[in-house]
Structure 1
Amino acid sequence: MRMSGPLVPDLLVKHVGGVPQARRLTLMRIGAQSALDSGLVAYFPAPKSFTGEACAELQVHGSPAGVRAILRALTAEAGVRLAEAGEFTRRAFENGKLDLTAVEGLGDLIEAETENQRRQALARYQGGLSRRIDAWREALLDLRAEIEARLDFSDEGDVEETLPEMFASDLAALRDELSDALASLTRGRIVREGVRVALAGPPNAGKSSLLNALAKSDIAIVTDEAGTTRDVREVPVDLGGQLVILVDLAGLRETDSKAEAEGVRRARAEIGRADLVLWLTAPDVDSAEQPPQTHAPVWRVAAKVDIHPRPAGADLAVSVVSADGLADLESRLAAFADELAAGGEPALLSHERDRAAVEAAREAVVRAQARLDAPELAAESLREASQALERLVGRLDAERVLDRLFLSFCIGK
């Protein structure tokens, strides 16, 4: 159990018999009048704590009755209440211990399911993006100082009329850095959200059976009746440390059934969102449907090869019954996911908010480059670039994202 706030030392004195040595676990009895439990107590004085306030942690035996008794005793004190979802992290932000990008990194770390997600989230939480943003902000401040000095102090003897020779090249270098960061967004999104693999094809081609085989679980209903799958089903799997989202779709065909037609519509929409499409065909299914036109690669997968050998033109051949080709398919999916998420270092950008802010900053820098013959306009563009980055770390308009952001956190995080 965690506590944060100015009353923490008083609570420790009353309920555990004193304030233990800072940052050292101490075995103590818990309970003011009578013992409620015993456990290890850690104390973190302000401001050197996670929230920036006085904090304490009680490591108790964890029985429901014991926890309830301790919570009742603590919250009976005036000025003490249970924390709201994400409140500890929100206090850390408000007290300057974390910026918004680090807060988002902590949220991603809590939800990380794969090794790549853990690495990327940890890099963000530990300030990888914050440090890069600080460098961009410093570069912008230098550029703004040069141009605004000529606007405000043009009559001073030590301020030259023309901008320094390196001004334009420094501006171009900053634009290129922002562009490079934006280029990493797709890789960051892939790691954070997973590679979306759509299982598509005509009805009864074996899509749901393949989903069950890859997920190693009977998740999807499988029958020999065409149109069994009518909705979109997503199943996350970890392939070599990379999250892959398998998306089982309704079979594509013309139908008079309104329910099935809606499933087909949703299937086509999901194919448009996918990073990879597996187009399944089967020897016992007669269909004129062709693989869809989409931005994503399409792999032709011949299913049910236990019934009939692999046909010409298929990229892969599998049988759920005999397991033929499944290992090869998994290996190729893992390699494809690794290629999309390629890169030795975790991606800087991974959230839509990142893209919007860095893109706005880059566009403002490009406008400034085009306005160097009008210093007032160029200075305004550079100010807009700075503001876009300030919003990203939460120094401007933070309240617009705080409530939504912290609602996804656990109590006490």
Structure 2
Amino acid sequence: MITSNEETIAAISTPVGEGGISIIRISGTSAIAVAQKLYRGKDLGKVATNTINYGHVVDPESGEQIDEVMVSVMRAPKTYTCEDVVEINCHGGLLVTNQILELVLSNGARLAEPGEFTKRAFLNGRIDLSQSEAVMDLISAKTNDSRRVALNQLGGSLSRLIKQLRQEILNVLAKVEVNIDYPEYDDAEVMTTKLMKEHATSLRQKLVDLLSTATQGKILREGLATAIIGRPNVGKSSLLNALLHEDKAIVTNVAGTTRDVIEEYVNVAGVPLKLIDTAGIRQTDDTVEKIGVERSRQALKSADLVLLLIDGSTSLTAEDRRLIDLTANHPRIVLLNKVDLPAKTTAEQLSSLLGDDRVIPLSVTQNEGITTLAETIKHRFFKEGLNNSQQTVMVTNARQTALLKQAKKALDDVLTGIANGMPVDLVQIDLKRCWDLLGEITGDSYQDELLDQLFSQFCLGK
């Protein structure tokens, strides 16, 4: 349930644990008054806005000094939440941070819900809903390019485009209404079926163009689920370690060492990969290994990309051929590993067998071919490159994508209605639905349940 903005809220806004400093954030009409009750230093009610002030936090009941602090005072409306905001900078550590938070909560504030500071920024009109989502994207960004896209969206790039599209629709709807209500006005532009079709077709293409960024936006936001597949002992765990630049997975020459699925994020040429190192897929009587093999098969089904490893130092086995068939209908890159050893399977032989699939020779142990692999992944999913990502308007999450698809469907219905000879005043109902759906992306129209669900995914203190 959306809470009242009359309440003053507080939370720890830095990661919990030991560190140089911790920050307790307070926001609301009583933020300054609450902080003043436990602060000993200048009168916070009289200090200038956007200043930081030295002093001490003291328990107002016992008089015990808790910590030496710096207190920032930021007055409404030029703050993150558009409310009075106070941030208490104390020494990092679980004990002192929690003691100060408890004092804040016992002196007039309540504990903020996850994402409630950002929710208030939205409700108070400082940012719209797509910008709110960009805040979390920025916090969870895994590469520089995902950071740039999130920062671009936080700056309002998507919002401006959506508002522009909605204004175009509004102009069309206004012309329809004028011609319906005042048909005698000859100087009013006549909204003929042909003209409405032109507008709907143009708008639809813009939505198609925007939806075309959804896959790349999802990758930058969530990472590319990448399954490393191969029979046992072909170098899967070694490849994972090479991409991570650390020994995360156990590597031995004993087949079946990897018994479970290991997941790690890694930045590969600017593309965030959610790497999944799987157990070698083979027939086995080992009960535990069987479970690992089944989990590998499940990981394969959900993967956005498959890295299929073949051991070039051995002849192709029946298991290799089964894996080639098993991954045939998945987006995959075939890697011929161990090319530093005497070859029994060549890249040419493998390419001939696979048809169109490109084979990348590599030696994980010698760090050969890793750069080629990285560039291949980048080119496959970002053909136009990532260098302009900060200027690109991207759709970055499932909610935005779903609403754009519904808006496109509404425009399809407009064009279908026109093709079937429906009157313009009936066709405009679908155009109005498109306008409403686009408004849900920016939060111009929303339901309370949507906000509760969306902001509950934020971290506490943001």
Same fold, TM-score > 0.5, yes or no: yes
Give the aligned partner of residue 18 of structure 1: 44
2:129 to 89, 94, 100: 100
Residue matched to 1:387: 436
Residue range with higher mean Cα deviation, 382-391 or 156-165: 156-165
Deviations 1:348-385 (A, max 9, x none): 11211121111111121122123244223311111110
Q: For residue 230 of structure 1, report the CA deviation from its aligned partner.
A: 4.1
C-alpha distance in structure 2 between counterparts of 1:346 and 1:268, whole Å: 36
Q: Aligned residue for 1:58?
A: 88
- Between 1:13-22 and 1:348-357, the stretch displaced more is 13-22
SS of alignment partner, residue 60 of structure 1: strand
- Describe the shift of the 1:293–1:130 C-alpha distance in structure 2 as closer, same or farther (beyond 3 A): same
Partner of 1:404: 453
* Paired AA for residue 18 in structure 1: L
Change (3 A) 1:302 1:151: same
* Number of equivalent positions: 409
SS at match of 1:53: coil
> Which residue is 1:368 aligned to?
414
TM-score with structure 2 setting the length? 0.79
- Tell me the SS of whatever aligns to 1:333: helix
Task: Give the Cα–Cα distance (whole angstroms) in 2 for the partners of residues 106 and 160 of structure 1.
Answer: 43
The separation in 1 between residues aligned to 2:159 and 2:57, in whole angstroms, is 40
Describe the SS at the equivalent of 1:145.
Answer: helix
Deviation per CA, 1:328-350: give whole Å up to 9, x if none: 22343145225523251344112
Matched, 1:354 2:400: yes
Determine if the alignment matches structure 1 residue 318 to structure 2 residue 362: yes
Are the equivalent residues in 2 in contact too, given 1:305–1:317 (CA < 8 A)? no
Match of 2:369 in 1: 328
User: Does the alignment pair 1:378 with 2:427?
Assistant: yes
TM-score for the superposition, normalised by structure 1 = 0.88
Question: AA paired with 1:350?
Answer: T
Root-mean-square deviation (CA, aligned residues, Å) is 2.8
Change (3 A) 1:67 1:248: closer
Shift of 1:114: 1.2
Q: Residues of 2 paired with 1:312 and 1:410: CA distance?
A: 48
Quick one: which of 332, 341, 360 aligns to 1:306? Answer: 341
- The alpha-carbon distance between structure 1 residues 160 and 208, as it changes in their structure 2 partners (threshold 3 A), is closer
| Residues 206-225 of structure 1 aligned to structure 2 (within 5 Å) | 206-225=235-254
Query: Amino acid of the residue matched to residue 316 of structure 1?
Result: I
Alpha-carbon separation, structure 2, partners of 1:162 and 1:71 = 61
Q: Is 2:309 aligned against 1:280?
A: yes
Q: Say whether the 8 Å CA contact 1:278–1:301 is kept in structure 2.
A: no
Is 1:244 paired with 2:273?
yes
Contact 1:51 1:97 (C-alpha < 8 Å) held by counterparts: yes
The aligned residue for residue 6 of structure 2 is none
1:93 is displaced (CA, Å) by: 1.8
The one of 37, 44, 51 equivalent to 2:74 is 44
Q: Could you tell me which residue of structure 1 aligns to residue 353 of structure 2?
A: none
Contact 1:214 1:330 in 2 (8 A): no
Aligned partner of 1:389: which letter?
L
Change (3 A) 1:84 1:162: closer
The residue aligned with 1:8 is 31
Summarize the Cα distance change of 1:378–1:245 in structure 2 as closer, same or farther, 3 Å threshold.
Answer: same
Equivalent position SS for 1:25:
strand
Matches within 5 A, 1:164-175: 166-175=195-204
Task: Out of 242-251 and 260-269, give the one that drifted further.
Answer: 260-269
Residue segments in structure 1 that go unaligned for 5+ positions in a row: none
Q: State the Cα distance separating 1:115 from its structure 2 match.
A: 0.5
Residue 128 of structure 1: CA displacement? 1.3
